[in-house]
Structure 1
Amino acid sequence: MRLLPLLATLAFCTSAAAGPKDVVRTHPAQKVGAETYVIHGPQGVPSVENQSFMNNPAWIVTPDGVVVIDPGSSVQAGRMVVAQVRKTTKKPVTHVFNTHVHGDHWLGNQAILEVWPKATIIGHPDMIKGARDGAGAFWIKLMSDMTKGYTDGTRAEIPTVEARDGQEFKIGGKTFRIHSSTHAHSKTDLMIEVVEDRTLFTGDNVLSRQVMNLRDGTFKGVMKETERALAVDAKLYVPGHGKTGDRKLVEEQKAYFDALMAEVRRLYDEGKSDFEMKPLIAEKLKAYKNWAEWDANLGPQISLAILEIEQE
């Protein structure tokens, strides 16, 4: 979804307060590693049907506590995540990483702090600035609008600790290495490598079998970060949306982007416009037509690729 010009006048919360029973329906966690769990949310955009929940919250249990990655899209989603964390350990959440500014990944921070108010929340410096400057308010309103008020009561609990490219956080005997960028999916992106576990949490720089919404990012930036994710050579990749897997899921995204950019370049050189390109590219890339968000995002990706070619 697109971060439209952000209006500082938007309120940071809606009028209705969420009650103790307002919790997204249960989505069970999957144990994907010895100490790592992921809730694979349904793919799609926030809606009444999915109650705004559509990302992949994850957590790592360490000897000192729990580290959460992206606790979801609302206080209601975050409470569901908290309940699932508590099923896996009695240890407290000590740290939360937010991979980028898009609210479906971080507005669940509120639920974490309801239970563990001393938890440290970490994010990209530009994500923190953007959230303070209006992105938090924008996403709260957008989630409420798209769920017809289900997420009302959510507050923007913004990260307080910055994470920069190459920085390492030593938490509970594990090394959380930051791979950050300002040119990819949202221009505020973190990928988080758990070095000892050879696991990479990609945020939305990598999705599993989903055509990415790039309205806030750059085509070439995401292609670069896809290659960077492969270069990490992790054993396990946890995408922002879609199923967790090995490097094959990243290679699939790379193959898709490479094929799409090659076709756009070829047709651009032939003088084709974006609307002329779309059916030709859709036919050429029909192997990907069953990916989530194909219909919604293929056209905008073509337009963005043309724009970046022209900027060359």
Structure 2
Amino acid sequence: MSVAISTTSPIIIAHRGASGYRPEHTLAAYELAIVLGADYIEPDLVSTKDGVLIARHENEISETTDVARHVEFAHLQTTKIIDGESKTGWFTEDFTLAELKTLRAKERIGQMRSQNTAYDGLFEIPTLQEIIDLVKRKSAEINRAIGIYPETKHPTYFKSIGLALEPFLLATLTANGYEGANAPIFIQSFEVSNLQDLSTKTDLPLVQLLNNSGKPNDFVVSGDERTYADLVTASGLREIAKYAQAVGVHKNLLIPRDSSGKLQSPTSLVTDAHTAGLLVHVWTFRNEDCFLPLDFQGNPQGEYELFFSLGVNGVFSDYPDMASTVKENLRL
């Protein structure tokens, strides 16, 4: 089920909130993103032991919380295989919501964003419901509809341990009035099968995330030989359009970089996706030179301008104020 390609202005998606300015996946980061002009805020969703959806980039939380300082949880440190990778730390599915609420968030990349470490220890881990409550309140305050763009993280893994994310997600969204193809929401996943299943249970917009390497974890588990490279072909995009309304793509899939980090010629992905009836949302835009292509070191505005010129329908940004300013200057 594809959608007509919108000719309206591209959307600004606050990547984990205004994560260039506040620790990611906190209510403070989401609220600031809205103030800075974001159209959507993006929570990555994982589950607690008692089946509550919360916002964390990963279910392993030592990098984004102060859990290691809580001696009462020392016994919960463990090693697990998550999507084929061995990870040691503390995992959300081993904690109740009440236990997780005693933790505080911290900046994940403090060496790079030292200014954000000033907020370490100030903010709780938010639930999906708390995020929705914030969005409703801010939308009313500023008289502008703000959308949410949740990602189901590691869906095959969570299903394997009896904590499938999708039933919790749909129940919460239904209870909060999210319904219909025009609802201010996109549900995204790097996996395929959970989106295909969701497409039979909801008409809310779905987004197939596409990386520039590797393959969906559910393909690994099921033995499907296809990779993300197969999914970004014209035929692959037509298959995606049978269950999703958009693709969320790595920037390098639109404009590859050479070995020195310099941009090469754009691919046909935007045209191919639009031909298949899919919107194209691109990730992730950041201001720091270490993330920028060689062509735009010190000039993150120029990178936005280039990608907007390709006709993309949205951008994920850690700095939604800059994304919004460039869009306004281009009169998009």
TM-score (norm 1): 0.31
Q: TM-score, normalised by structure 2?
A: 0.30
